[in-house]
Amino acid sequence: MKSIINFSGVTKKYPSGTLAVDNISFDIFENEIVGLLGPNGAGKTTIIKLLCSLTNPTEGEIYIYDKLKKKKSTIISVVLEGNRNLYWKLTVLENIKYMLALKGIKFSDRTTLVDELLTKMNIDDKKDALVGDLSRGMQQKVAVIIALIDDSKIILLDEPTLGLDVESVLDIQELIRFIAKEMSKSVIITSHDMRFIESTCARAIIINSGKKIAENTVEEFKTLFAKKSVKVVFDKQDNVEEKFEKLNVNINSKNDSVEVDFSCADNDDIFYEVMEALKDNKCKINDITYSDIDLETVFLEIIKNDRGEK
Tell me what pLDDT residue 73 has.
67
Alpha carbon distance 300, 293 (integer Å): 11
Contact of 38 with 15, CB cutoff 8 Å: no
Tell me what pLDDT residue 267 has.
58
Contact of 232 with 259, CB cutoff 8 Å: yes
Contact of 101 with 90, CB cutoff 8 Å: no
Low pLDDT (below 50) residues in the chain: none
Kindly report the number of other CB atoms within 10 A of residue 134's CB atom. 20
Alpha carbon distance 101, 107 (integer Å): 8
- Rg of the Cα atoms in the chain: 23
pTM, full prediction: 0.75
Tell me what pLDDT residue 56 has.
93
Tell me what pLDDT residue 42 has.
92
Alpha carbon distance 240, 286 (integer Å): 15
Tell me what pLDDT residue 227 has.
66
Alpha carbon distance 305, 103 (integer Å): 45
The residue ranges of DSSP E strands in 97-208, in sequence order, are 154-158, 186-190, 203-208
